[in-house]
Amino acid sequence: MSESNAIVSQIGDLASAGEKMIERLRRKAFLPESRKGLNVRFGIAEAAQLLGCSTNRIRMAEDDGRLPPPPAGENGRRLGYSVQELLNMRDVLGASPARAPMDVPAIIAVQNFKGGVGKSTVTTHLAHYFAVQGYRVLVVDCDSQATTTTLFGFNPHFNIAREETLYPYLSIDPTQTDLLYAVKPTPWPNVDLIPSNLELFDVEYELAASGSDGQSVLAARFRKLKQGLADLARNYDVVILDPPPALGTISLAVMQAANALLVPLAATTPDFCSTVQFLSMMDQVIAQLIAAGIDVDYSFVRLICSKFDGNDPSHAMVRSIMEQTFGPALLPVPILESAEISHAALRMMTVYELEKAIGTPKTHKRCKANLDEALGQIEQLVRTGWGRIAPAREEDVLHAA
C-alpha cells in the first residue's frame, strides 16, 4: 500500500474507533435494552404549576379517588409524579393544552446552515419542553449526521437501519407509501421520533443523479414529504423537524414541508454573518420554489439566540446588533450558555431528563428556568397560531378576583 493510500485508510480507522467509543458511551448512558429510561419526577407544587391549578385541587382529586397518589419511597415520602402520571392528571383535571381538532398541527423546522449553533440541542430541548407541558410531539431527524437521534437514546450506527429512516419513503424507488413505518416511541410517553443515520444521505445522491427529469422528481419529493408529514401530524400537536445544516435536497424538502421556521444562532460575528447569508439564500430558494408551483407558507419565522453568555461583552455586543437588525423577529429571551446543558449532553440527555442537578442546584435551577422562558416563547407562537394564548392559571384568576 502506498503512503498516501495508507493515510487515506486512516480515515476509516478513525471512524471505526469513533463508532466503538460512541457505543461505549451509549452503554454507560443508556439502559441495557439500548433505550434510555425516563426517571424524572415532579413534586406536587411543580405539577400544580404545570397544570395551571392549585395543589389543593390535586390533593382533592387524590382524596376522592379520581387520581392515584404518587408512589412513596422507602422512607414513606412521596416520590413525585412521573411524566405519564402528569399526562393522566391533565386528562382527569381537564388541563390538557392539546390543539382542537380543527387546529393545524405546528410543523416547526429548526434550521441554520451554520454548524455549531446548537440546532440539535435546541430541537431536543424544545421537544422535551413541549412534552413536559403536555403536548403530543413528533421529532423528525432529517440530518444524516443523526445528532438528534443520538440524543434520544439511539445509536444511529448500531441501532438504526436505513429502512427505519426517511429513506424508504423519499428514495427514487420508494418501498413505503406513508411514514408510519418510521415512527419510534421514545422514553417520553408523549414524544415519538423518526430517526436518521448516515445512509439517509443516499437520498441526496439519488436525486442528484435523477437525470433529465430531475426537476420534476425533486418537486414530487418535496410534495411527498409535505403530504407524508401532514398525514402523520394529525396524531400530534407539534412536529419538530431537524434538517441537515446545508442547502441540499432534503433541506429544501423540509423547508417546504414546515409551516413554521425557527433559526438558532450563536452570539458571535461569524454566526451572525452566516445567518444573514442563510436568510438571503432561503429568500432566493423560496422564490424559486414558489415560481415552480411549490407552496411555502409559514405561520411564523423567528430567530433565537442560543449559547448566549451574558458575562461576555462580545456576546452582548453581537446580540445588540441582532436586535437592531432583526427587530421583533428575534425572540427576546436567549438560551443561555450553561454547564448544565453541556453536562447533560455528555450523558446524551437534555436538562429536562435530569433527575437531579449535575452541577450546583443553583446552576440547574437557573438553567431550567431560562429554558422554560426561552422555549415558552415558541409555545406562545404555536398557541397564537391556534387562536389561543396560554391558559390562565387558577391561582392567578383567584388573586385577580
Which domains are assigned to the chain? 21-96 (1.10.1660.10), 106-396 (3.40.50.300)
pLDDT tens profile 334-348 = 999 999 998 888 888
With cut-offs at 50, 70 and 90, classify the pLDDT of residue 33. very low
Contact between 241 and 107 (Cβ < 8 Å): yes
Q: Provide the pLDDT for residue 99.
A: 94
The confidence score (pLDDT) of residue 15 equals 66
Q: What are phi and psi of 181, to 5 degrees?
A: -60, -30
Residue 130 in this model has a pLDDT that exceeds 90: yes
**Model pLDDT, residue 41:** 93
pLDDT score at 209: 72
Q: How far apart are CA 227 and CA 1, in angstroms?
A: 50
Predicted confidence at residue 399, as pLDDT, reads 47
Q: Is residue 296 over pLDDT 60?
A: yes
pLDDT of residue 47: 95
Residue 211 confidence class, pLDDT cut points 50, 70, 90? low
pLDDT in tens, 219-231: 787 889 999 999 9
- Condensed to tens digits (0 to 9), the pLDDT of residues 76-90 reads 788 899 999 999 999
The answer to whether residue 30 scores a pLDDT higher than 60 is: no
pLDDT of residue 401: 41
Sign, Cα dihedral of 320, 325, 327, 330: negative
Phi, psi of 32 (to 5 degrees): -55, -30
pLDDT at residue number 210: 65
The tens digit of pLDDT for each residue in 347-380 reads 888 999 998 888 889 999 999 999 999 999 999 9
Q: How many CB atoms lie within 10 A of CB 106?
A: 27
Please state, in angstroms and rounded to a whole number, the distance separating the CA atoms of residues 254 and 157.
23
The whole-number pLDDT of residue 26 equals 64
Averaged pLDDT, 191-217? 80
Per-residue CA distances from 311 to 122, 149, 314, 337 (Å): 21, 32, 9, 10
Per-chain mean pLDDT for the chain = 86
Residue 190 CA, distance from chain mean position:
13
% of the chain surpassing 70 pLDDT? 87
Q: What percent of the chain has pLDDT over 90?
A: 55
**Residues 242-270: pLDDT tens digits?**
998 887 888 888 988 999 999 999 988 88
Q: Which has more confidence, 58 or 206?
A: 58
Average pLDDT over residues 100-127: 90
pTM: 0.88
List the single range of 31-40, 163-172, 274-283 with lowest mean pLDDT.
31-40
